[in-house]
Structure 1
Amino acid sequence: MTSTAEASTSNVEKKKPIVIITIGMAGAGKSTFVQQINSYLHSKEPPSPPYLLNLDPAVTSTPFAANIDIRDTVDYHRVMKEYNLGPNGGILTALNLFTTKFDQVLEYVEKSANEHE
């Protein structure tokens, strides 16, 4: 026989996050789209602020604050210079360098998610 508390907690499913990955060509409106979603989620009652990751090492600014920003760990211009690459090669190499640290990013995201529960 189970207690009422055990029964109620076993019936509660852990809410899974909604994940949106926005990709596209330069100037397609990715940043504007993410900014609009961010604004909408902050305006809801109660607010439901999203957890944002910026994975564009070449963007000069974003209209939203990212919780994790690739630019904090990889310097796109330095990568271009160090590896003698053009803009596209610099972006790809910066992303590859960032992926070597992605296990740390996932740990950080999981820790933050647990703190917000």
Structure 2
Amino acid sequence: MALWSSSPLSPRRTARAKAIPVTLPNLLRIKDLLNGSGANDYQSVQVYECDTTDMDGCLNPVAKGVSLVGLKQRVHEILAGSGGGNGLVYKFATNTGPLTQNEMAFMDGL
């Protein structure tokens, strides 16, 4: 009597055995988190996504390409501003303008 499925990503439970967790290889690198998917909208980074939304839906995760804004870009936008808005540096230098929620969260993390 087999206690396990033949697929290493979808172990089956039986009354006498517990499922063994499967560790998948990393898809994201530090470089991806810092730089994001790049300035090009056609570039993407790979992340895992659950195959279904059922209770056991993550037994067979699949790789999916997504756009990702990197940490460098996020910090730059908060400090220098983006979309015509002023950033923290300008607001502190001129003592003008209310802080956004992102700017306040950034300051709380320092």
TM-score normalised by structure 1 residue count: 0.33
Q: Name which structure has the greater RCO, CA cutoff 8 Å, separation 6+.
A: 2
Which one has a larger percent strand, Structure 1 or Structure 2? 2
Which structure's residues are more often helix, by fraction?
Answer: 1
Bigger-Rg structure (1/2): 2
